[in-house]
Every structure is written in structure tokens, then in C-alpha cells.
Structure 1
Amino acid sequence: MTWDESIARIPADVEQPDKIIGSFTARQVAIVFGTGAALYAAYTAISDHVPLVACAAVAIPVAVTAILLAVGQRDGISLDRYVLAAIRHQRSPKHLVSSLEDIPMPPTWIAAGSQRPPAPLKLPARGVVGDGLVDLGPDGIAAVAEVSTVSFALRTPDEQDALVAVFGRCLNSLSGPAQILVRAERVDLTETVASLRDNARELPHPALASAALEHADFLQELSARHELLRRQVLLIVREPVIGANGSDVAAARALRRLDEASRVLGSCGLTARLLDARAVAALLASCFDPSAPSLPDDDIALPGEVITTGGTW
């Protein structure tokens, strides 16, 4: 029995669309040939009544536009999808509010002009429930854990093979949807610098105090000259909700899957810490505004909590 040892090229981008004719995908072929067929049908219908020059004056701009939409790109997105996204953005409401109900129209005596009324903001996350679980509504329950990192380059080849084997075993043990998210967030060294200056006064030797103050000055100068970032690795697992008591069952399954993943990752020196409700709320808030500095967990209010101010009356 012989095997055909023909080589099949697999693109690095597994989501890259297949080529149908030459370097054209099915979407590009449909745009170009669909426009050509429509122009030819229109020409055969009106060729006896309209001069050829007039038909060409109308057909050439339409054909050029179709070719540009098919082969052109903007920011890595094809022009046809870019134009459709721009049209949807133009027609969609711009003022959104966090309400699960439809927003009523304003009274007629309010001079609202031509501005559209607010629309409900539809998010995939309904809220943060107990133990830091994220309620995704019909999509189920998600649990989020922060995973530490290890230095792969500093390990020996045998240790690197062991790490790869453990990570592969962790991937093979997945029994449901999971996501590994690596995100960058800003680092604020204000509290670190202040802590170093305060603790330097209590050090037993003047040389240690001087070194601590110099290190505090170095960190302050470093944060002033550079935008400091840190990497955060998150492991998110999701479980669907099935049945009347599906939320409790899905939450238990999600927590059990994270516990199993933490035990497997612990074999290669990684620790997975389940985020509590405040940490998850802070994480979701930072995802809406990644450029803003992160807030302390104590400054994040959970859903249903009463927000008070510390001012004097």
C-alpha cells in the first residue's frame, strides 16, 4: 500500500478565506462577476434605446467601484465590509443607556430636534454574580482566573520540553469553551514609591535607607519618562446554562474546570488565582477604557451597592 506524499500548504492564518479563482476568494468573485452580470443584463435590455457611449459612461464607474470594493482593503478589512460597517455605524443610535427595557420617546413638548432617542446598551455580560462569575445571559456563565508566568528562555531544553508537554496536556483536558487572554495594562508606581519612602525611615542602617530612597527616586523618574506596562494573563472558561437550575450547575462546572486547570498548570510552576467579584468588575471596567489608569478594587462598586461620597455636608 502506497501513500500519496503530496505537500499541502496550510496558511499561518487559519481563518484566511479559500481562493476560488486565482487569488480571488468567493466573496471577491461574487462581487466582480455579479456586478459584471448585472451590467451586461442592463446593457442588453437598453442597448437598442441608449447609445453605447452613454452606457459606457454609466458602466465604467460602477465596474471600477465594484473592483475596488472587491480587492481594496482598509486597516486589514476589505472595503465592502468596511463600507457596510460604516453604513451600520451611521444608522445605529449613538446614545446608549444601560437599561434592559425599551427607551420611550420623549414628550412632544421637548424640543429634541432631529436627534435620535437613547437606545438600550446591549452587552454580552449581564453582570457579575457570586464568586466573581460573569453572567453571560443565554451564552452561559464564565469564570475568570489570573495566571502567573514563567521564563521559558531561561529553562534548559529538557525543562522546556516538560513545560510544553504540561501545557499540551492542559489543552487536551479542556472539556468546554475556554479563552487565554494576554492583555497589557498601565502600571502606577505612586503607591510603591510612597511605600519605599515611608519604610526607608524605619530601616536599621543609614546605608539601607539611602539605597531605598535612591531606588524610590529611580522608580519615580522611570515612571515620569516612560509609559510602564505590565502583562496580565487571564484564563476564562465558559459553561452553558441548561434547564431551570442551569445557572447553579454551570457555575459549579466552571469553578471545577478552573480548579482542574490550576492543578495541571501547577505542574509547570504556574499559579491560577480565581478573581473575585470586585476584581472582575474592575477588569471589565478597564476593558471599556484600556488607556485609563486602573482603579483600586475598593473604588469599584458592585451591582446593587449604594455609592456614597466622602465629602462633608
Structure 2
Amino acid sequence: MTWDTSVARIPADVEQADKILGSFSARQLAILGGTGLLLYSAYMAVGEQVSLIVCAVVALPIAVVGILLAIGQHDGVSLDRYLLAAVRHQQSPKHLVSMPEDIPMPPTWIAATAGPQPAPLKLPARGVAGDGLIDLGPDGVAAVAEVSTVSFALRTPDEQDALVAVFGRWLNSLSGPAQILVRAERVDLSDTIGALEDNARRLPHPALAGAALEHSAFLADLSACHDLLRRQVLLIIREPVVGTNGRDAAAARALRRLDEASRVLGACGLTARLLDARAVGGLLASCFDPSAPALPEEEIALPGEVITRGEPW
């Protein structure tokens, strides 16, 4: 048996389109070819009745637009896709409400200027079940786990090779969609500072109390002068729903795959903790406002819970 040892270049941008002819992709060739075919068809239709100079004047802006659409980019997005997204955004409703059904019309007795009709807000997540799994509707269910981290740079070369081998073993064992999400969220030190100040008064020695108060003052100054962030690594396992009773089977498969990932990644010193319903609800809520501090889990109501006031009426 002979092995093919030819070298293939892989671009750093793995989402880069394949080059079909020269430096042009199939999409670019389609735009350029469509523009050329349009101009040629128009010339063949009216070329005998219109002078060549007039045809050139009319065809030049169309050709320039076609070339710009083919090779132009805006913030890394091709110009044709950017313009298509702009048109789609312009035509889409701007007032969205979280209602699964159609929005009813306002009553006729309201004397108000008629405005744009709100539309339902369609989110990929339909809800969070009691076991912490996210209901994705026709896309299945998703299980979310928070994964710890290891210091790769402080390991020896042999330890680094072992970590990469274990991680590669987990990647090769994947039997369905999986996502590794690294997100940053704000850190609120107000509770920690308050606890330090309260405990400092009960310390047995004045030097310990002074050190605790100095540390609380340092944390307060640090929180006031800097935007404190912490990184959170999440592992999301998704399983499709198949059949009438497919939701329970998909949930079982997702939990089983997450347990297998936890066992394999445990060889790297990583621990995966499955998020419960409150933690997943807080995670989804924080995604709507990433700049705000995360909500405490005890302040997040589970599906079906009755929300009451914290003080008597």
C-alpha cells in the first residue's frame, strides 16, 4: 500500500469560499456572468436601434454595479449578501413581542394614530424544561454544561501533547452536533465587598480587621476603575427530535453524550457541570443584555412558577 504524501494548503479562514477560476469563487463568477449575460442580451435586443455610445453609457453603471457586487466587501461580508441583508432588515417588522400566536388588532375605541403592527418575536429557544434542557422546537433539544479550564501554557510539552490527544479523542467520538462557547460576562463584587466589611468587624485581632478592610477597599477601587470580566466556557450538546415521543429520547441522548464528554475530558483535568433550569434561564436572560451583571439564580422564576412580591401587600 502506498500513501499519498502530497501537501494541501488550508487557508486560515476556514469559511473562505473555494476558488473556481483564478481568484474568483462560484458566487462571484455567477454575478459577473449574470451581469455580462444581461448586458449582452440587452445589446442584442436594442443594439440595432440605439447607437453604440448610448449603449456604452447605459451599460457602464450596470457593469460597475455587477463588479462591485462580485468583489466588494463590507466588514468582511460580501457586498451582495450585505445589501440582501439590508433589504431584508428594511422589510422586516421592527416592533416584536414575545407572543407565540398572532398579534390581535387594538380595539376600535382607542383613539390613537395607527402605527406598524407588531410581529411575534421568533427565538430559537422555545423554553427551558425542568431538567435544564433547552427546547429548540423542530431543531431538537440542547443540554448546556459549564466546563472548567486548564492552563495549557504552564504545562510541559509532553503534558501539552497529552491534553491535545485527549481533546482529539473526544472530537473523534462526537456523534452529533456540539458547540464550545467561550463568553465573557461582567463580575459584580458588591456582595463580596459587603461580606468582607461585615466580617471584618467580627475578627478577633485589629490587624486582621484592618487587612480585611484594606482588601475590601482595594476591591471597591478595582471595581470602580475597571470593567471586571470573567470567562465562562460552555459545552452545548444538541440532539434532534425524531418521532412523536422523540423529545424524551433526544433528551436522554443529549444527557448521555454530555456524560460521555465529561468522562473523556476529565482526563484533561476538566470538569463539566450540567446547568439546571435556573442556571440556563439566567444564561439565556444574560444573552439579551451581555453588558449587564448576571441575574442571581434565586431571582429567576422557573417555567410554571408563580411570581410573587418579596414583601407583603
* TM-score of the aligned structures, taking structure 2 as reference length: 0.93
How much does 1:132 deviate?
A: 0.6
Paired residue for 2:271?
271
Paired residue for 1:84?
84
Q: 1:32 to 1:108 in 2, by over 3 A?
A: farther
Paired residue for 2:183?
183
Paired residue type of 1:232? Q
Q: Does 1:261 align with 2:251?
A: no
Q: 1:169 to 1:5 in 2, by over 3 A?
A: closer
How much does 1:11 deviate?
A: 1.2
Paired residue for 2:33?
33
The 10-residue stretch of structure 1 (277-286 or 252-261) with the greater mean CA deviation from structure 2: 252-261
Paired residue type of 2:301? A
How much does 1:59 deviate?
A: 1.2
**Residue correspondence of structure 1 range 194-273 to structure 2 within 5 A:** 194-273=194-273
Paired residue for 1:168?
168
Contact 1:106 1:117 in 2 (8 A): no
How many residue pairs match? The answer is: 313
Distance 1:37 1:19 in 2: 21
Paired residue type of 1:46? V
How much does 1:112 deviate?
A: 6.3
Q: 1:109 to 1:85 in 2, by over 3 A?
A: farther
The 10-residue stretch of structure 1 (219-228 or 150-159) with the greater mean CA deviation from structure 2: 150-159
Q: Deviations over 1:146-166 (max 9, x none)?
A: 001111111222222222222
How much does 1:279 deviate?
A: 0.5
Paired residue type of 1:187? V
Distance 1:112 1:40 in 2: 54
Q: 1:114 to 1:64 in 2, by over 3 A?
A: farther
Distance 1:277 1:312 in 2: 27
The 10-residue stretch of structure 1 (272-281 or 35-44) with the greater mean CA deviation from structure 2: 35-44
Paired residue for 2:281?
281
Paired residue type of 2:59? A
How much does 1:252 deviate?
A: 1.6
Distance 1:46 1:27 in 2: 29
* Identical columns (%): 78
Distance 1:172 1:6 in 2: 24
Distance 1:2 1:19 in 2: 29
Q: Does 1:42 align with 2:68?
A: no
Q: Deviations over 1:41-78 (max 9, x none)?
A: 10121122223232222211111111111111111101
